[in-house]
Structure 1
Amino acid sequence: MKEAPNTCDRLLDAAERLFAEAGFHATSLRQITQAAGVNLAAVNYHFGSKQALIVAVFRRRLDALNAARLARLDEALNTASDDTLEAVLDAFVTPAMAWTHGRAEEGHRFMRILMRAFADQDEQLHRDLSAEYAHVMRRFAEAIARALPDAAPDTIRRQLDFIVGALTHTMAESRLQDGPAIAADLVRFAAAGLRGSIQTHPKIASQRPMEIVR
């Protein structure tokens, strides 16, 4: 028999669903607790604030996804070859596509939340998520820099932002069915963009060591 979700999970489930439907600011804590079937004090007990609850909704999905990305990145770096750049980008893109297509309704709902996070221009949320996952972006930026030693640090940072945006929009498209083929296309697209950008923005020898925090 399937175990019933605990209070914390019920709050996260309800918050994720309501945030996807109405957005972060339009959804009240009272709506979330009513949907979860718990009292208002439960939010303070488990999370402390609405902002902390929002971050927890993201962490529940992104912690596992980024762990899978880093594991795949380690494998790619341990088997370095001429196509290291594509392997690094594959480690970033493919786990995300696999997660979305492996959990159709759940994945699409979470992608809607990610899109809202981009669109809402919530600076506090962006800072919170950047702080949570800066180490992940840094690892990938460093791996790309090793694969493309002539790339300027600022160029890598911008290109990673482009890749994140393209990936998020792609994952949010519910009609896309062939996840592996789409992931491969996106990897080729991103690799071409990164290599092409070197010609436009080459590294300058006097630049300081790269510090990339998204």
Structure 2
Amino acid sequence: MSTRAALVAAAERLFAEQGVGAVSLRTVMQAAETNVAAIHYHFGSKEGLLDAVLRGRLDQIVGERDAVLRDLADGEVTTHDLARAFVQPVVAVLDAGGEHWVRLVGQLLARGDGAGLGTLAGSFLRRNAAFVELLERCRPGVPARVLNFRLTQAMNVTLTVLGDVERTRLLQGPDAGTPEEVVADLVEVVTSILAGPPPDRRGRRGSVGRQPASTG
């Protein structure tokens, strides 16, 4: 393994286990059995190292999703197809030993403090257009803003659940399914997010928190 790859692997694990803010460059250097100068040489800063960690597996996810979207573009597409296209590439990262990466991204999305979010948002937005186009075919007439919101929530749910499958199973209690069943259930949840409410409820948007006017 090259020095650069060793640093990325060590940072990925440490950031996921301890949180980005709690990990020093010296800790990463010690885990990778290299020196701080190597971190500055390859990445320039801690932010540069985090960016490299995130982009490494994003490339795999993007590649797999692109392939799925190309297959879907020429035929009939459903929201369930798109949900699988959202979830399965992340599962593939898990299967390839990327559990620390998925957990890290889930933590960054949940915390929302800005660290690494620019990298994630940039990659997500570049892929949004293809998803929105296919979603528009499934849900004609729904504004692009709404479809983008649904995609964002699909990303949040997917990374949160897959970032810690055992936590999800623990929350379910004694009736928790197997990890494979959790993934299948996640696809169904993402399908419902992408599909949105049934037609007879769409006219009620914007009514949250409003109370009917008093007639007395």
TM range (shorter): 0.7 to 0.9
Q: Once the 2 structures are TM-superposed, how far is the Cα of residue 183 of structure 1 from its aligned partner?
A: 4.1
Q: Once the 2 structures are TM-superposed, how far is the Cα of residue 137 of structure 1 from its aligned partner?
A: 2.5
Q: TM-score, normalised by structure 1?
A: 0.79
Q: Is the 8 A contact 1:155 1:201 kept in 2?
A: no
Residue of structure 2 aligned with 1:125, choices 116, 121, 146 = 116
SS of alignment partner, residue 197 of structure 1: coil
Residue of structure 2 aligned with 1:154, choices 145, 158, 183 = 145
State how far apart, in whole Å, the 2-side matches of 1:142 and 1:117 are. Answer: 27
Indicate the residue corresponding to 2:92 in structure 1.
98
Q: Given the superposition, is the C-alpha separation of residues 41 and 198 from structure 1 closer, same or farther in structure 2, using an over 3 Å criterion?
A: farther
Identity of aligned residues (%): 31
SS of alignment partner, residue 57 of structure 2: helix
Q: Given the superposition, is the C-alpha separation of residues 21 and 166 from structure 1 closer, same or farther in structure 2, using an over 3 Å criterion?
A: same
Indicate the residue corresponding to 1:191 in structure 2.
191
Structure 2: give runs of 5+ residues left out of the alignment.
170-177, 204-216
Q: Given the superposition, is the C-alpha separation of residues 198 and 142 from structure 1 closer, same or farther in structure 2, using an over 3 Å criterion?
A: farther
Q: Is the 8 A contact 2:154 2:190 kept in 1?
A: yes
Q: Which aligned pairs between 1:42-53 and structure 2 lie closer than 5 A? A: 42-53=38-49
SS of alignment partner, residue 113 of structure 1: helix
Task: Write the deviation string for residues 95-128 of structure 1: whole angstroms up to 9, x where unpaired.
Answer: 222332x24xx33222221122123322252123
State how far apart, in whole Å, the 2-side matches of 1:198 and 1:174 are. Answer: 29
Q: Is the 8 A contact 1:76 1:84 kept in 2?
A: no
Aligned length: 192
Q: Given the superposition, is the C-alpha separation of residues 39 and 142 from structure 1 closer, same or farther in structure 2, using an over 3 Å criterion?
A: same
Q: Given the superposition, is the C-alpha separation of residues 129 and 172 from structure 1 closer, same or farther in structure 2, using an over 3 Å criterion?
A: closer
State how far apart, in whole Å, the 2-side matches of 1:55 and 1:198 are. Answer: 39
Q: Given the superposition, is the C-alpha separation of residues 184 and 77 from structure 1 closer, same or farther in structure 2, using an over 3 Å criterion?
A: farther
State how far apart, in whole Å, the 1-side matches of 2:98 and 2:63 are. Answer: 17
Q: Given the superposition, is the C-alpha separation of residues 193 and 134 from structure 1 closer, same or farther in structure 2, using an over 3 Å criterion?
A: closer
SS of alignment partner, residue 21 of structure 2: coil
Q: Once the 2 structures are TM-superposed, how far is the Cα of residue 29 of structure 1 from its aligned partner?
A: 0.8
Matched, 1:88 2:94: no
Indicate the residue corresponding to 1:73 in structure 2.
69
Matched, 1:164 2:183: no
